[in-house]
Structure 1
Amino acid sequence: MHHRTPGAGGNPLRRDADRSRARLRATFMLACLLAVICGVAVGRSAWTDASRAAAEIARHRSPVTAVTVGSTTYRAGSGPGTRPVPVAPATWRDTSHRVHTETVPVPAATRNGATVRLWIDGKGNATTAPPGTADIAVNAISLGIGASAGIALAAGAVVYVRQRVVDARSGRAWESEWESVEPRWSGRLRPGQGGADD
């Protein structure tokens, strides 16, 4: 059987297809290792960039204490299916001691005259808090996992397609070899073969 490789010290039953499958498995393992390395690199880069951006944002924002000057109402959420956001009018002084009054998000059931903590921008207007360490970490981990998964899935798809090709070739080789071996092995004659033909 010409697809067997009886090399020195090798398994005489090991076929070219078996070696191809072993190479494909090794390739996939290497691709998974590469995926992990790339995922760590992407996550680390995302962490560094987001931390730098958060530090820059934090330089232009500051926390203040505001006092509500009205009752709590609810504003529609940012998108369909999101919960309404409790808001109330509040007043505060910015870093230049100017008075500002805006409707800002507050905890539910906040009463008139209650104090709330909020963040303001360089002009003293209410804004969101700068991204925290937890938000940065979640984003970096998500990007790293996404990169790893993308590389692993792409490698898996390529290996899967190549494996199917190897399996198809192996099946055809087996059929061809079996056609030449089966008549002798089973003792049946092929069409056109006389009793004296061996």
Structure 2
Amino acid sequence: MHHPTKGTGANPLRRAADRTRTHMHAAFALTCLLAVIAGFALGRAAWTDGHRTAENVARHRHTVTATTVGETSYRAGDQPSSRPVTVAAATWRYPTQRPHTETIPVPVGTRNGDTVRVWVDDTGRAATAPPRRADIVLNAVAIGTGALAGIVLAGGALVAVRLRIVDTRSARSWESEWAGVEPLWSGRLRPGQGAGDD
């Protein structure tokens, strides 16, 4: 049952499977560290890109005062689970007094002739507002956290599979070695051994 070990003062009871388990646990710890670094780097990159994009969009967005010219109605949201949006036809002038009339989202309770603020692009057409800082932060956190979780889960799954293989092989090895030792240890005869056999 003796397995040679490497190094001065090495534990003779420490088997190859034990060393493999130690290496796998160390590999998982390293994977977690790399996941934190990668998650932080991707989150920071998403924040930088999102901030740069928001600044670029903001340079081409303007708010103007529009006047509603019709009654409000409801329009389905952008997503299937979104709530309906209150909209109304409105008119405004941008740029240089150029008139525009479009159907835009308005607050609930808006009446014909009310004024509302609307975001427009450089040509004066209705446009979305620049991304908010909170949205950029949430996106960066989601990307960073997703990367971290994905790497940890993938690394954990690989380590778990490897440990399962090591445990299975170790159990088979123990059974094989015990089958050779147990008859001598217990005094029980092995198959094919006579009472006078040594």
> 2:181 & 2:44 partners in 1: Cα distance?
59
Equivalent residue, structure 1, for 2:170: 170
1:23 Cα shift?
A: 1.0
Q: Structure 1 vs Structure 2: percent identity of aligned residues?
A: 64
Residues 39 and 145 in structure 1, CA contact (< 8 A), matched pair in contact too: yes
* Deviations 1:114-157, CA, capped at 9 Å, x for gaps: 22222100100111001111111111111111211221122112
Aligned residues: 198
Distance 1:81 1:46 in 2: 26
| DSSP-derived class of the 1:126 partner | coil
- Point out the more displaced range, 44-53 or 1-10: 1-10
Residue 73 of structure 1: aligned partner: 73
The farther-off stretch of 121-130 and 181-190 is 181-190
The answer as to whether partners of 2:69 and 2:91 remain within 8 angstroms in 1 is yes
Partners of 2:169 and 2:3 lie apart in 1 by 11
1:62 aligns to what?
A: 62
Corresponding position of 1:141 = 141
5+ residue gaps, structure 2: none
**How big is the shift at 1:103?**
0.8
Normalised by the length of structure 2, the TM-score is 0.92
Inter-partner Cα distance in structure 1 for 2:100 and 2:113: 15
> Amino acid of the residue matched to residue 121 of structure 1?
D
SS in 2 for 1:127: coil
Partner of 1:195: 195
Write the distance in 1 (CA, Å) between the matches of 2:147 and 2:6.
42
Q: CA deviation at 1:13?
A: 3.1
CA shift in 2, pair 1:131/1:184, >3 Å: same
5+ residue gaps in structure 1?
Answer: none
C-alpha distance in 2 between matches for 1:81 and 1:37: 35
TM-score (norm 1): 0.92
Q: Which residue of 1 aligns with 2:181?
A: 181
Displacement of 1:97 in angstroms is 2.2
Contact kept? 2:61, 2:130, Cα under 8 Å: yes
Change in 2 beyond 3 A, CA 1:4/1:169: farther
Partner of 2:125: 125
Q: Please say which of residues 49-58 and 90-99 is displaced more in the overlay.
A: 90-99
**Contact 1:106 1:116 survives alignment (8 Å):** yes
Could you say what the CA RMSD is over the residues aligned between the two structures, in angstroms?
Answer: 1.8
Q: Quick one: which amino acid aligns to residue 145 of structure 1?
A: T
Shift of 1:67: 1.8
